[in-house]
Amino acid sequence: MDQQELITQLSRQNRLLKQAVTLGAAGMTVMLLTAAANTENRGKFSEIDVERINIVTPEGKNEMVIANHLRLPQPVTNGKQLERGGPQRPGMIFYNATGDENGGFIFDGKLDDKGKPVSGMHFSMDRFGGDQQLSLGHYESNGSMESGLKIYDRGLQKDYDGLYEAYEKAPAGPEKDALLEKWKDVGGQQTNRLFVGKTRGKSSAIIMADAKGKARIMMIVTPEGKPMLNFLDDNGKVIQSLPQVGIGGQEK
């Protein structure tokens, strides 16, 4: 094969290669465009490792987030991002149509330096524009446990937003005290109104409280099986108890 024939052959192979690359690129483009246009694509996996999953609307707003303890998002109320209290925990957060958090599920568990469990699972439901109003939880610490349902009172975030921060910054005196009372009056302080469950004292109980969070009626069955119904005053003193105990220690 002389030099001219070699050059001609190489030129022809080069053209064929360019054509193949062009056709391949065109085919890949068509595949990508088709996949992008198909919004119903589904994937099936036997197993997947992931640190966070965002369930979003077509517009990109969060409707639900599942995340590990490092990637759980901060709470959002009235479009404002707040700080989540306590240590970082894994969980699942739910959002309403405005993009605000309206409940979620968090959990944790470990052993303390004495080898005792410090553990908990907490499922909460928030009011619109505010914090949790109902929760279902189990908590362990210091060798004791509490499990039950709680109902709370708390105002709207917009009504008490910034008041507690102003209270903390204010110098000691009447103005500081007034800011704290205002924060409480507009619902900044969360109060427990009802508890149904098992207490850390191992009693089963129904505890009803007033708007200040003070227990006023306690229906209890002790671990030993003794039932009682207590009525309390504003200072927590029992003013009446059933069954009543008469002379000689006999129940009336």
146 pLDDT above the threshold of 90: yes
Task: Report the percentage of the chain scoring pLDDT > 90.
Answer: 54
- Rounded CA gap, 62 and 93, in Å? 9
The token duo for 235 is: 């200072």
- Rounded CA gap, 175 and 182, in Å? 10
Q: Which of 124, 123, 121 is nearest to 145 (CA)?
A: 121
Q: For residue 201, how many C-alpha atoms fall within 13 Å in the half-sphere facing its CB?
A: 8
- pLDDT score, position 5: 60
Give the residue-averaged pLDDT of 110-131.
92
- Rounded CA gap, 42 and 146, in Å? 43
- pLDDT score, position 93: 96
Output the average pLDDT for the chain: 86
Does residue 210 contact residue 217 with C-beta atoms inside 8 Å?
no
6 pLDDT above the threshold of 80: no
Does residue 107 contact residue 90 with C-beta atoms inside 8 Å?
yes
C-alpha gyration radius of the chain: 31
- pLDDT score, position 249: 47
Does residue 219 contact residue 238 with C-beta atoms inside 8 Å?
no
Residue 177 parent element (H or E): helix 174-185
- pLDDT score, position 141: 93
- Rounded CA gap, 147 and 130, in Å? 24
250 pLDDT above the threshold of 60: no
pLDDT grade for 248, boundaries at 50, 70 and 90: very low
More confident residue, 184 or 53: 53
- pLDDT score, position 239: 95
pLDDT grade for 135, boundaries at 50, 70 and 90: very high
Does residue 95 contact residue 61 with C-beta atoms inside 8 Å?
yes
Task: Report the percentage of the chain scoring pLDDT > 70.
Answer: 81
Q: What is the tens place of the pLDDT at every residue in 62-114? A: 999 999 999 999 988 888 888 887 788 999 999 999 999 999 999 999 998 88
Handedness of CA 126, 128, 129, 130 (dihedral sign): negative
- pLDDT score, position 81: 85
Q: Which of 169, 131, 167 is nearest to 150 (CA)?
A: 131
Out of 130-139, 200-209, 237-246, least confident range: 237-246
pLDDT grade for 200, boundaries at 50, 70 and 90: very high
